[in-house]
Amino acid sequence: MYDDKTLVCKDCGQEFIFTANEQEFYAEKGFENEPQRCKACRVAKKNNSNGRGNFGGQRQLYDAVCAECGKPCKVPFEPRNDRPVYCRDCFKR
């Protein structure tokens, strides 16, 4: 049996309710930690995240030259001189 809890968002400092239903859901999924952000801050964090879990945000692309065909291309990592970089077509092969 769960009771609603009032928690404080670690980003904005506003109080939010961690409902009994949400607590039950967390328990069923095996989540051990309570949420630390209110819904608005969770949505904002998801929309602004970088790298893994980007969720549709902008990611940085780097200019490179394909080691196979020599065409210029863009890649989602910073190329290093000790590793070859391939364009999409050459990488698929």
Average pLDDT, the chain: 87
Tell me what pLDDT residue 93 has: 84
Mean pLDDT of 55-65: 77
CA distance 50 to 41: 16
Is the pLDDT assigned to residue 70 strictly greater than 50?
yes
Q: What is the mean pLDDT of residues 74-88?
A: 90
Secondary structure class of 22 (helix, strand, coil): helix
The pLDDT of residue 51: 47
**By percentage, how much of the chain surpasses pLDDT 70?**
89
CA angle 89, 92, 93 (to 5 degrees): 95
In the chain, which ranges are continuous DSSP H helix?
20-29, 39-48, 88-92
